[in-house]
Structure 1
Amino acid sequence: MRKTPYLALVVAVFQVIASQGAYYGQTDREKVDATAIVLLLVGPAMMLFRHRFPKTSLALTLAATCLYLWGGYPYGPVFVSPIIMLFQTVTEGRRKLALIASALTTVFFLIYSTWLVDPPSRGLWHILAIVAVMTLILAAGELARYRIESRAERARVAEEESRRQASEERLTMAQELHDVLAHNISLIHVQASTALHLMDDDPGQARSALTTIKGASKEVLGELRSVLNVLREGAPRSPTAGLDRLGDLVERSGLDVSLEQVGARPLPAQVERAAYRIAQESLTNAARHAPGSRVSVRLEYLAAELVITVTDTGSSMPAVLAEEGSGNGIPGMRERASALGGTLVAGPKETGFQVEARLPLPEETG
C-alpha cells in the first residue's frame, strides 16, 4: 500500500490549519478565505496524481502556490506541498523537470518579492536566500535518490551473490553425490561379483559380501535422501562426510586396508570433506582396478598441511570394473585439492598405484 494518500491528507490538513494560524502573525497579509483554502488544497490533491501525471501535477502545485502568494495570503505552510513535490520529482530521477520547475518558480519569487509585494524585498542576500533554498531542495532530493539507488544496487548484488552461492552449492552437491554413487555402486558391483563367485564354494564369504552390499546401498540411499531434502527445502547443507567416518569407509571397502592417522586433530569442515572424498575415490579406484590388493591409507596431520597417501599393491584377481569407470576419478580428486590450494599426484608405484594429496591448513589449526 502506498503512503502517498496519507501524506497528501496530512499535508492538506496542515496547510489549511497552519495557514489560518499564520495569519495571526502576519496581519499585513490577507485573511485565509475560501479561495485561499482551494489553492492550499491543490498541492496535496496533485500529490495523489504525481505518479500518473508528473509534469501536470508539479506544474499545478507550483502554479497554485504562486497564485496563493500573489493573492497576498500568509506565508509559511503553503510551501510544504511544492517542497515535497520538487523533492519527490528529483528522487524519482526526473532531474530536468525538477530543474526547470524550480528555476521558473525562483524567477517568480524574485519578481514577486521585488516588485509585486509591498514593501518590496531588495538586495543580494534576499536573492541568494531564495536560490539557496531551491538548491537545497534539489540537493536533498539528489541525495535521497542516490541512497535509494545505492540500496537497490546493494540488494541486487546481494541477490546475485545469493544465486551464485546457491549455484556453487548445487555443483558441490552434484560432485558429492557423484563421489558417493561412484564409490558405493562400484563397491556393490565388486561385492556382488564376489558373492556370485563364492556362493557355492564359500557361503560364509559370500554372506560377508552381501552384508557389505546392504551397508553400501543403505548409505547411498541416505546420501540421496539428504541431497534431495536440501534441494526441496533450499536449506543450508552441512557436510555429510568427514574424517570421523573414515573407519567406516575402510570397513565397507571390501579390500584389505590398513589405516594410519598421525597427529590426528579436528580440521576445518571443507578440508575434512575433501580428504574423505579423496580417500573414498582412491579406494573406489583400487576396488575397480586392483581387486584383491592390499591398500594402505595414511593421513599425516602436519602444522601447515594435511598429507593423504593411499597406496595399493596391485591387482591379484581380474578387475571386473576396470573398463567401466567414468575416467573422472583422478581429475575430480585433483580438482578438490586445487580448490583448497593444495596439490594431488597420482601414478604407478612399484607394482601398484599411489595417490598423494597435500591440503593446506589454516594457521589457527596448526
Structure 2
Amino acid sequence: MPAGINQGLSTGRATYPLVVVAALVLAVRRRWPLATLAVVTAAGTAYLVLGYPYGPILLSFFVAVYTVAAYLPLRTAAVAGGAALVALLAHVVVGARSPGLLGAMPAAAWVVVPFAVGTTVRLARESTARNRVDEARRLADAERLRVAREVHDVVGHGLAAIHMQAEIALHLLAKKPEQAEAALTAISRTSKEALDELRVTLTVVRRDEAADERAPTPGLAQLPELRERLAGAGVPVIVEVAGEARTLPVAVDLAAYRVVQESLTNVLRHAGPATATVRLRYAPTEVAVEVTDTGRGQVTGPGPAGGYGLAGMRERVTALGGSFTAGPGPGGGFRVYATLPLEEAA
C-alpha cells in the first residue's frame, strides 16, 4: 500500500478521539456551558485544521453554541460565540486543506444559526417567566383587594351600627335606663353578628380550613336580619321585592347583599335622620338592586368619607359584568342602583 494512503488513514484515525470528546462533553453543557463550548471549539478547530471536511463534529459545535446562547446572558453569550467563531475560522488560514475565504461563510453559519436560535429560545423563556410572575402578582393583588373589600364591608357596617347604637345608649342612659339597656343589648347582638360574618369571610380566604357551617354565607336571604339591625340603630328600612325571588349564583347573591349592606351603612353614616328603601327586582336574565334614602345625601368623592365604599360596590358589580350608578336621588336623598347578570340565564 502506498505510503501516502497509510499516512491518510493514520491521520483519519487520529480524529476519532476529537469527535468522541466533542460528543461526550455535551453531557455537561447545561451545567458548564462555557467550558463545554471551549472544549468543543478546540476539538472542532483541530479537526478542521487537520484538513477534514465538515462532518458530525460540527453538530456538537452547533449544540454547544446553542446552549451558551440559550442559558447565558446575551453579552456573555455573544463574547463566547465570537471567540468560538474566530477559533473555528483558523482552518481557513492555517488548515492543511484551506478552503480559502469562501470557507468563512459556512463556518460562520455554524455559529450564527445556533446562536440566533438559542437567543430566541432564551428570550421566549424569559418572557414566559415574566408573564407568569406578572400573572401571579396580578392574582395576589386581586385577592388582597377582594379580602380588603370583604373586611371593609363587614367591619364597616358592624362598627357603624354599633357606633349609632352606642350614641343612643349614652343619650338614654341617664333619662331612660330601661331603653338604654335595649340599645346595649342591640350592640351586643350586632357585634356578635359582625364577628360571625367576619369569621365566615376569613374562613373562605383561608381555604385550608373548613367553613363554619353554623354561619351562613352572606346573601340576600339575610336581608331581614340586616333590616332589623339597621332599625335598632335608628334607620327604618323598607324592603320591596318585584318578580319571583329565587336562588341566585353565589357570587351574584353575595355582591347584591354587599351592595345593600354598604348602601345602608352609608345611610347610617352620612344621611342623618332618614328612612331607607331597598328594592329588589328579579328578571329572567338579571337581578336589580336599588337603595334609596330620604336623608341629606352622601359623600360621593373618593376618600375616607365614604368614596371607598362606593368604589368597592362598583368594583364588585362590574367584575360580574353588571352596571352600577350612585348619586343624588330624583326626589332628594341618595340613590344606589346596580344590575347583576345571572350566569345561569339561558
Judge same fold: TM > 0.5, yes or no: yes
Aligned to 1:357: 337
Offset at residue 276 of structure 1 (A) = 2.1
Query: SS in structure 2 opposite 1:297?
Result: strand
Matched, 1:67 2:35: no
Aligned to 1:108: 91
Cα distance in 2, alignment partners of residues 29 and 171 from structure 1: 76
Aligned to 1:329: 306
Matched, 1:256 2:236: yes
- Rate the CA distance shift 1:260–1:231 in 2: closer, same or farther, 3 A: closer
Percent identical residues: 33
User: 1:297-339 CA distances to partner (integer Å, 9 max, x unpaired)?
Assistant: 1112346654322234569xxxxxxxxxx86336632662366
The code of the aligned residue for 1:83 comes to: F
- Rate the CA distance shift 1:242–1:148 in 2: closer, same or farther, 3 A: farther
Aligned to 1:276: 257
Offset at residue 72 of structure 1 (A) = 8.0
CA contact (8 A) 2:197 2:218 kept: no
Offset at residue 347 of structure 1 (A) = 2.9
Query: SS in structure 2 opposite 1:356?
Result: strand
Matched, 1:192 2:166: yes
The code of the aligned residue for 1:89 comes to: V
The code of the aligned residue for 2:81 comes to: A
Cα distance in 2, alignment partners of residues 110 and 358 from structure 1: 81
The code of the aligned residue for 1:168 comes to: A
Single out whichever of 178-187 and 45-54 deviates more from structure 2.
Answer: 45-54
Aligned to 2:290: 309
Gaps of 5+ in 1: 1-25, 117-121, 316-325
Aligned to 1:161: 135
CA contact (8 A) 1:313 1:353 kept: yes
CA contact (8 A) 1:307 1:359 kept: yes
- Rate the CA distance shift 1:243–1:139 in 2: closer, same or farther, 3 A: farther
* Aligned pairs for 1:1-366 within 5 A: 29-30=9-10, 37=17, 40-41=20-21, 54=34, 58-68=37-47, 78-79=57-58, 81-91=60-70, 92=72, 93=74, 94-95=77-78, 97-99=80-82, 101-102=84-85, 105=88, 108=91, 112=95, 115=97, 135=109, 138-195=112-169, 201=176, 203=178, 208-225=182-199, 241-253=218-230, 254=232, 255-263=235-243, 264-267=245-248, 271-288=252-269, 293-302=274-283, 306-313=287-294, 328-329=305-306, 332-333=309-310, 336-337=313-314, 340=318, 342-347=323-328, 353-359=333-339, 361=341, 365=345
- Rate the CA distance shift 1:353–1:180 in 2: closer, same or farther, 3 A: same
Offset at residue 144 of structure 1 (A) = 3.6
User: 1:139-159 CA distances to partner (integer Å, 9 max, x unpaired)?
Assistant: 244224312321221221221
CA contact (8 A) 2:287 2:342 kept: no
Cα distance in 2, alignment partners of residues 39 and 311 from structure 1: 85
CA contact (8 A) 1:309 1:354 kept: no
Offset at residue 357 of structure 1 (A) = 0.9
CA contact (8 A) 1:295 1:310 kept: yes
Query: SS in structure 2 opposite 1:260?
Result: strand
CA contact (8 A) 1:334 1:344 kept: no
- Rate the CA distance shift 1:109–1:262 in 2: closer, same or farther, 3 A: farther
Cα distance in 1, alignment partners of residues 26 and 283 from structure 2: 74
Q: Kindly report the root-mean-square deviation, in angstroms, between the aligned alpha carbons of the 2 structures.
A: 4.9
The code of the aligned residue for 2:134 comes to: E
Offset at residue 187 of structure 1 (A) = 1.2
Cα distance in 2, alignment partners of residues 298 and 230 from structure 1: 29
CA contact (8 A) 1:314 1:353 kept: yes
Query: SS in structure 2 opposite 1:30?
Result: helix
CA contact (8 A) 1:267 1:365 kept: no
Aligned length: 317
Offset at residue 110 of structure 1 (A) = 9.5
Offset at residue 184 of structure 1 (A) = 0.9
Offset at residue 44 of structure 1 (A) = 5.0
Query: SS in structure 1 opposite 2:88?
Result: helix
Cα distance in 1, alignment partners of residues 284 and 182 from structure 2: 40
Gaps of 5+ in 2: 1-5, 297-302
Offset at residue 268 of structure 1 (A) = 5.5
Cα distance in 2, alignment partners of residues 172 and 46 from structure 1: 50
Provide the TM-score with structure 2 as the length reference. Answer: 0.66
Cα distance in 2, alignment partners of residues 108 and 35 from structure 1: 15
Cα distance in 2, alignment partners of residues 77 and 334 from structure 1: 67
